[in-house]
A and B are shown apart, each in its own frame.
Chain A
């Protein structure tokens, strides 16, 4: 009994020969691919993918090195992917870390990240000097840092950012306010709340459903009310959260809620929703990062808005804003292509490429020389850079459990569930618990 066609043997022979031919052809093309180096980059920046691809094309034309930008979004999924890849030691040549400095330190200690200090300092520090100091600081570990990481620069900022407040100029006019003079003090800010209450508008919108932005806002005012030293003393455990200055910081949220300056449902609002509300002219103020320029442009190109520092609540200390490196890339220390990867990052942070990135994606460039060529609204974000700070450069880190309790506590104050004193006491309890735990360790 025959189970196969008459010419089955012939078919098998042709198939085998074909297989070998294609295998060899494949090998040969692979060899040629291997001769042509390539660099793989993982990132999460959806809005920058087309610009990255264009730059990759230019780099390949000029240097013959193929750069593959692989986008993994949203950022949560990206973070998980990077962690999983780190555990399996199959990270790409270039990637970014979304997380706190502690996580960055762990990646370095686990041997995943290349020390870029030598490259930065070569040719009298040419690369280092081209970049904004504050942007580089986020990627830097100083001597004797608390993370136990060897001092050095471990990342390259590709842009910078500041988180400030923006206000809608048209709505300002509608409310009878001067769009050239946004509120400078907290009292002036609160007084606008009364006008907003009487209109069909929302006050301040922000992604306070995702708690880190609340943390940022609270920290700005903590710096303004008690100064950097006392904030850092609190983190170190030398000053309690029940201190009157902290209660005053927490009390600002109660005042804002009572004054009608906060949008309804702010505590369940994600930043994307807040951006939509502001871009559509439904909210007077927004607390957002400089990345919003690109977002607002996409949502409403005609939006007329200005940038302002959060109105100060005290004259004792300067107002601080979070800022520094927006997004940074790091090089995989285990990569076979690490030299190529470093060369690409050097090229990416040069003036021409930075200008292109800044103009196409509306983000502040990391290269100092490009600042003169940026749009007006971006330069407004840049001008307060001197007040920028970031937890990643403080040299001390608050316990995550404390941050979480503080942020959730502020949410509770906004919804009228708890008083600032109650929240301060709860935060201090957690702080004491974590300090005790740390002491035991």
Chain B
């Protein structure tokens, strides 16, 4: 390949590289740079503190790690419950069922709703004091009064309740992507398997799952990234961090920036959080690659 065609090829990707650099790489470098300073976000002077902010986050900031643990728990529920629900519904809608287009629209309504609206609506549904207490009333009506509980106001159940509402809000994205993935699987494969005497379970295990691994990986990575960064829904549901029981990394970053006026520290938290997300996504990707090869 001569120089001219090489340059020509590079020129095609140049606009994308420029946009990516301006909107992603340069801001990332700036944020990292600010993370090395003690700065309140207003004064023109900043005090260089090296990696002290990062050290404080990793070794001293207990509330940060509590927020990370909380985020991990919400993500776990999202990865399992939310994605299992999305996959089941996608499988159902992939079949020739009546009104499947209607279901597709219905399942995609929660993700397009505003997070704060969903949070407040669910607070109204769940809460007893300032809400309609619908969940508890339902439990009484179906003969399970022993399960009646103050779901959002008990520190033991608040985070899981938040995670379930988050799953309700988020499963539509997974549903849509998984359904698109299912529709790319050639129908001939299932027909051939049926002719060979494979049961529905065998078809699912040997055709659907292996061919869906790249899509499942994508959904899993998107779920992790979306869930770990959740915070608006939490404000709508429980008003904030609830003595740390519902704190999430983004809420901590906001707290550092707004209430403590530690802009540099908030930037360092943002970078640390970003690195954690990249590492998790990379591990997830590697695992799925291995599963695909196997």
Real binding pair: yes
Q: Is A107 close to B, CB under 8 A?
A: yes
Among B41, B42, B239, B255, the residue within 8 A (CB) of A268 is B239
CB distance from B237 to the nearest CB of A (A): 8
Q: Is A198 close to B, CB under 8 A?
A: no
Q: Which one, A1-9, A158-166, A351-359, A409-417, is touching chain B?
A: A409-417
A273-B130, A401-B260, A415-B243 as given contacts; A268 in contact with B152, CB under 8 Å: yes
Within 8 Å CB of B150, what residues of A? 264-265
Within 8 Å CB of A264, what residues of B? 128-129, 150, 153
Within 8 Å CB of A270, what residues of B? 239-240
Q: Is B127 close to A, CB under 8 A?
A: yes
Interface size class of chain B, counting residues whose CB lies under 8 Å from the partner chain:
20 to 34
Q: Which residue of A lies closest to B237 (CB)?
A: A268
Within 8 Å CB of B60, what residues of A? 433
- Cβ-defined contact, B129 with A210, below 8 A: no
- Cβ-defined contact, B243 with A417, below 8 A: yes
Q: Is A269 close to B, CB under 8 A?
A: yes
Among B41, B63, B128, B260, the residue within 8 A (CB) of A265 is B128
Q: Which residue of B lies closest to A83 (CB)?
A: B41
- Cβ-defined contact, A265 with B243, below 8 A: no
CA–CA, A313 to B96, complex, Å?
71
- Cβ-defined contact, B243 with A99, below 8 A: no
CA–CA, A194 to B153, complex, Å?
21
Q: Is B205 close to A, CB under 8 A?
A: no
CA–CA, A270 to B158, complex, Å?
16
CB distance from B225 to the nearest CB of A (A): 23
CA–CA, A433 to B56, complex, Å?
12
Chain A, 184-218, contact with B by CB distance < 8 Å: what is the 0/1 string? Answer: 00000000000000000010000101110000000
Main DSSP-derived SS at the A contact region:
helix
- Cβ-defined contact, A268 with B158, below 8 A: yes
Q: Is B203 close to A, CB under 8 A?
A: no
- Cβ-defined contact, B40 with A268, below 8 A: no
CA–CA, A171 to B150, complex, Å?
25
- Cβ-defined contact, A400 with B153, below 8 A: no
Q: Is A21 close to B, CB under 8 A?
A: no
Within 8 Å CB of A408, what residues of B? 241, 243-244
Q: Is A339 close to B, CB under 8 A?
A: no
- Cβ-defined contact, A404 with B153, below 8 A: no
Chain A, 61-99, contact with B by CB distance < 8 Å: what is the 0/1 string? Answer: 000000000000000100100010011000000000001
- Cβ-defined contact, A265 with B152, below 8 A: yes
CB within 8 Å of A: which B195-228 residues: none
CB distance from A253 to the nearest CB of B (A): 12
Chain B, 232-272, contact with A by CB distance < 8 Å: what is the 0/1 string? Answer: 00000111111110000000000100111110000000000
- Cβ-defined contact, A106 with B261, below 8 A: yes
Q: Is B50 close to A, CB under 8 A?
A: no
CB distance from A97 to the nearest CB of B (A): 9
Among A103, A211, A282, the residue within 8 A (CB) of B240 is A211
CA–CA, A438 to B38, complex, Å?
12
A277-B129, A415-B155 as given contacts; A109 in contact with B241, CB under 8 Å: no
Among A111, A276, A412, the residue within 8 A (CB) of B130 is A276
Within 8 Å CB of B255, what residues of A? 404
Within 8 Å CB of A269, what residues of B? 129-130, 239
Within 8 Å CB of B15, what residues of A? none
Q: Give B contacts to A, CB under 8 Å.
A: 40-44, 60, 63, 127-130, 150, 152-155, 158, 237-244, 255, 258-262
Q: Give A contacts to B, CB under 8 Å.
A: 76, 79, 83, 86-87, 99-100, 102-103, 106-107, 109-112, 202, 207, 209-211, 263-265, 267-270, 273, 276-277, 282, 400-401, 403-404, 408-409, 411-412, 415, 417, 433
The 7 sampled A-B contact pairs (Cβ below 8 Å) are A76-B258, A83-B41, A102-B40, A103-B40, A112-B42, A265-B150, A433-B60
